[in-house]
Chain A
Amino acid sequence: MKNEDLQNIINGFGENLEFTTEESEFLNVIVPKEQLHEVCNQLKTNSNLKFDYLYCLTGMDWGTDLGVIYHLESTELKHLIVVKVKTDDRENPTLDSVCDIWRTAEFHEMEVFDFFGIKFNNHPNLKRLFLTPDWDGFPLRKDYVDEANMIVK
């Protein structure tokens, strides 16, 4: 399915969805964080889309906003899409978990929590994955400071 057709279908899923294909071969959908779970659910279940495979989940620090990028593929219909969600709350960033839609997100979201400190609602086991449980701070944030180990340039 072409990007324009995908956009026409997805546009009806929610309000204030932003679409762009700039600097990307895939259709990028920026979803307000309140609608994230509902939109993702429809992406999975809509019979014209059938995005059944979350092949990449990335945490992101844009400097001011924190967020998550989801790369989705339909293994049946062979089309791809990128979903982005942002939050400007750096103190207590909270997004909805999608691990009830795509089970693989469970570990990916643990990793994003580990490195970016983004909390996921309804996640069954949100804890540090790679770092030690007593680690202070979230090292992949742009404003992370570690004077002992980091040589900042």
Chain B
Amino acid sequence: MGVDKRSFLKQIEPEGLNQVVPDDFPGKVIPGGNGGNIVVSTLDNVINWGRSNSLWPLYFGTSCCAIEMMQTGAPRHDFSRFGFEVARPSARQADLIIIAGTIVNKMAPVLRRLYDQMAEPKYVIAMGACAISGGPFFYNSYSVVKGADHIIPVDVYIPGCPPRPEALLEGMIMLQEKIKTENMSKKVNPIDGFDEGEGKFVK
């Protein structure tokens, strides 16, 4: 018996495909599946496991935090244990950018350009006081950007001046945990709406 799928669904759920969404509904509506979510969420787990354990960091060391970051990569702390194996000098090959140092106004467009060049999905770690808020250069400075999150969306903030390697490792593992909770169908690109001032409050 050949039944058209659309008319069949209309029989069992009259408004199923033409749901009326109120105009003031704040979120984005994602149509519900018919059991496919079990497959998708299992797939999500596998993909997230893979992504979180093979993050390739792009080094963006602009000052003394970079020394601690190098130490984190060196044998004593060795972040390749957690899958941050290959540190890339090229944005095209990286999916995590570690901002280790002061961002000045002259450097800001460079940082934004590097972020835009990275392939999605991409993640950002702001390491140290300068990358978080401008740190010691917050007051009376004409040249320092007061926090890297004025330029690009940041996933993890690591306080310290500079943070110890253990702190950086903690932050990187925290990012891995964040990636492990991701959902492919509900993934929001953090740069969407960022320049309009909405990026910090992604639902």
Q: With an 8 A cutoff between CB atoms, is B37 at the interface?
A: no
Q: Answer whether residue B7 sits at the interface, using C-beta atoms and an 8 A cutoff.
A: no
Partner-binding segment picked from B11-19, B94-102, B116-124, B141-149: B141-149
Is B143 touching A149 in the complex (CB atoms < 8 A)? yes
Interfacial chain B residues near A93, Cβ < 8 Å: none
Q: Which of A117-151 contact B (CB under 8 A)?
A: 139, 144, 146, 149-151
Query: Chain A interface residue count: which class?
Result: under 10
Complex-state Cα separation, A149 to B146, whole angstroms:
9
Contact across chains for B143 and A139 when beta carbons are under 8 A apart = yes
Q: Is A1 an interface residue, CB under 8 A from the partner?
A: no
Contact (Cβ within 8 A) B142 A144:
yes
**How many residues in B have their beta carbons less than 8 Å from beta carbons of A?**
8
B139 with A152: CB separation less than 8 A: yes
Measured between beta carbons, the chain B residues less than 8 angstroms from A144 are 142
Chain B residues near A146: list those with CB within 8 A.
142
CB of B129, distance to nearest CB on chain A (Å)? 15
- Answer whether residue A153 sits at the interface, using C-beta atoms and an 8 A cutoff: yes
Complex Cα–Cα for A152 and B140 (A) = 5
Q: For the complex, give the distance between the alpha carbons of A6 and B57 in Å.
A: 56
A149 to B105, CA, bound (A): 9
Complex CA–CA separation, A139 to B137 (angstroms)? 14
Q: How far is the CA of A93 from the CA of B143 in the complex (A)?
A: 24
CA A153 – CA B138 in complex, angstroms? 9
Contact B139 A139 (CB under 8 A): no
B residues less than 8 Å from A139 (CB atoms): 142-143
Complexed CA–CA distance, A146 and B140 (Å) = 9
Report A-chain residues with C-beta under 8 Å of the C-beta of B105.
149
How far apart are B62's CB and chain A's nearest CB, in angstroms? Answer: 15
Contacting pair B143 A153 (CB below 8 A): no
Chain A interface (Cβ < 8 Å from any Cβ of B): 139, 144, 146, 149-153
A-B pairs, 10 with minimum CB distance = A153-B139, A139-B142, A146-B142, A149-B142, A150-B142, A151-B139, A152-B140, A153-B140, A151-B138, A150-B140
